[in-house]
């Protein structure tokens, strides 16, 4: 009686996919948009080609400009708190 001593074949691995360690700046954060918002962004991109993050940044800046003084002060406080939290997370890695 002969024993089957063939090693099990290894699962196929993709070396590109194995390199998953990326820093925060390399990670993409996806935003789910309602269709009407997505279509608006898509139409604006056809008028004046921009990267989506550039368009979102421009819209956010205009929105911030329209805040009242109290709202802007609260926004700036929240932004600093978020940055502190993110830097703590990065230091822990």
Distance, in Å, from the CA atom of 40 to the CA atom of 33, rounded to the nearest integer, reads 11
Q: In a 10 Å sphere around its CB, with 0-12 CB exposed, 13-18 middle and 19+ buried, how is residue 88 labelled?
A: exposed
DSSP letter assigned to residue 32: -
Q: In a 10 Å sphere around its CB, with 0-12 CB exposed, 13-18 middle and 19+ buried, how is residue 55 labelled?
A: middle
Q: Residue-wise pLDDT tens for the chain (93 aa)? A: 556 666 666 666 655 555 555 555 555 677 788 999 889 988 988 999 888 888 889 999 999 999 999 999 999 999 999 999 988 887 776
- The alpha carbon torsion through 23, 26, 32, 35 (nearest 10 deg) reads 180
Spans of all domains in the chain? 32-91
What pTM value is reported for the model?
Answer: 0.56
């Amino acid at each position: 009686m002969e024993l089957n001593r063939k090693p099990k074949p290894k699962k196929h691995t993709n070396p590109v996919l194995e390199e998953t360690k990326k820093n925060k700046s390399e990670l993409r954060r996806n935003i789910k948009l309602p269709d009407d918002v997505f279509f608006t962004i898509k139409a604006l991109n056809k008028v004046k080609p921009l990267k989506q993050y550039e368009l979102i940044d421009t819209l956010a800046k205009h929105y911030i400009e329209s805040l009242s003084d109290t709202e802007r002060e609260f926004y700036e406080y929240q932004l600093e708190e978020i940055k502190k939290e993110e830097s703590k997370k990065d230091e822990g890695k």
